């Protein structure tokens, strides 16, 4: 049985009952769970005595109010999935539980967070890092799992854990894709049928041998609005819009492409 916890206090009691030798894996999510989330959860279950999954649509990381309103919320289906995966705990707090300070306190990173996702979405990573710091302080896991699909986010969380000497292992997990190559994302369900058919070209072009500029132009010619295609430290990152839906992805660059 997956035990549902909705308050910080209830979790703190359960956490204090775990033995020092018990390992605890943590997978933070915003719900609308899919096979990408499931891969993180399975990895956590395989590496830890207990696993906790949080579901919290974090308003402070949305710079666009419409995006927050449209974000899919599927709590009962999510709980069924957690049950099937045999997750021990589902932490599902409300806004007040996480932000008793009303976001007057925040974690700000002033380098990597200002590029790529940070350029198009000002303040996004302040919201991400703040909620991850809060969740890690509440849950106190041994290990926490993050998807490479959001590689910039993974790097920022990992570096935050090092900068603040946080006692947690931050573990990256490979991107899970649909059979046509599109990276799984909770936002994919918001794509129109036509855009869903067009979407795999984004991953295909990112993975091609073309330059970032060529990829950008070809995407634009195929009806994508391109936010950025950027090569950085051995990976190629991209963000595009199809209609109102923003898609992000990244891949490891082959050695012959800079
Ligand atoms: P989200 O619910 O979108 O905030 O994602 C929660 C976690 O799942 C993050 O660490 C994401 O990077 C990860 N994740 C989302 N989609 C995928 C995917 N397709 N493959 C692997 N991890 C993913």
> In angstroms, what is the span from residue 76 Cα to ligand 1's centroid?
19
* CATH for the 186-249 domain, from 3.30.1300.10, 1.20.1560.10, 3.40.50.2000, 1.10.10.10: 3.30.1300.10
Q: Which of 87, 147, 175, 237 to mutate for ligand 1's pocket (most ligand atoms within 8 Å of CB)?
A: 147
* 246 pocket-lining for ligand 1 (C-beta < 6 Å): no
Say which DSSP state 256 is in. Answer: T
Contact at 8 Å (CB) between 174 and 38? no
pLDDT band for 254, please (50, 70, 90 cuts). Answer: confident
Residues marked as catalytic = 37
> In angstroms, what is the span from residue 185 Cα to ligand 1's centroid?
7
On the question of a common fold for 3-173 and 186-249, the answer reads no
- The domains of the chain are located at 3-173, 186-249
pTM of the model: 0.97
pLDDT at residue number 56: 98
* Fold (topology level) of 3-173: Rossmann fold (3.40.50)
Q: Which residues pair with 251 in a beta bridge?
A: 236
Contact at 8 Å (CB) between 41 and 27? yes
Contact at 8 Å (CB) between 106 and 126? yes
pLDDT band for 256, please (50, 70, 90 cuts). Answer: low
Atom of ligand 1 nearest to the CA of 33: 2
β-strands 143-147, 169-173 pairing: parallel
Compute the average pLDDT of residues 2-27: 97
* 29 pocket-lining for ligand 1 (C-beta < 6 Å): yes
pLDDT in tens, 75-97: 999 999 999 999 999 999 999 99
Q: What is the DSSP string of 96-120?
A: HHH-TTTT-S----SSGGGSTHHHH
Q: Which two tokens stand for residue 215?
A: 């990829």
């Amino acid at each position: 049985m997956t035990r549902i916890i909705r308050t910080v206090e209830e979790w703190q009691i359960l956490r204090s009952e775990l033995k020092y030798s018990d390992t605890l894996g943590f997978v933070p999510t915003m719900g609308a769970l899919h096979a990408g989330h499931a891969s993180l959860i399975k990895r956590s279950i395989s590496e830890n005595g207990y696993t906790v999954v949080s579901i919290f649509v974090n308003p402070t990381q949305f710079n666009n109010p419409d995006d927050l309103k449209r974000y899919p919320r599927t709590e009962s289906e999510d709980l069924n999935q957690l049950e099937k995966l045999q997750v021990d705990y589902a932490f599902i707090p409300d806004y007040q539980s996480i932000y008793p300070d009303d976001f007057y306190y925040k974690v700000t990173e002033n380098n990597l967070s200002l590029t790529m996702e940070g350029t198009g979405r000002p303040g996004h990573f302040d919201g991400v890092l703040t909620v991850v710091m809060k969740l890690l302080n509440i849950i106190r896991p041994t290990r926490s799992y993050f998807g490479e699909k959001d590689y910039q986010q993974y790097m920022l969380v990992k570096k935050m854990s090092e900068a603040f000497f946080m006692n947690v292992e931050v573990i990256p997990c490979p991107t899970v894709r649909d059979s046509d190559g599109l990276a799984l994302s909770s936002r994919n369900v918001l794509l129109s049928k036509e855009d869903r058919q067009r979407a795999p070209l984004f991953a295909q072009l990112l993975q091609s041998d073309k330059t970032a500029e060529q990829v950008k132009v070809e995407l634009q010619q195929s009806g994508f609005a391109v936010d950025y295609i950027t090569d950085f430290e051995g990976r190629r990152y991209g963000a595009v819009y199809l209609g109102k839906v923003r898609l992000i992805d990244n891949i490891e660059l082959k050695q012959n492409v800079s």
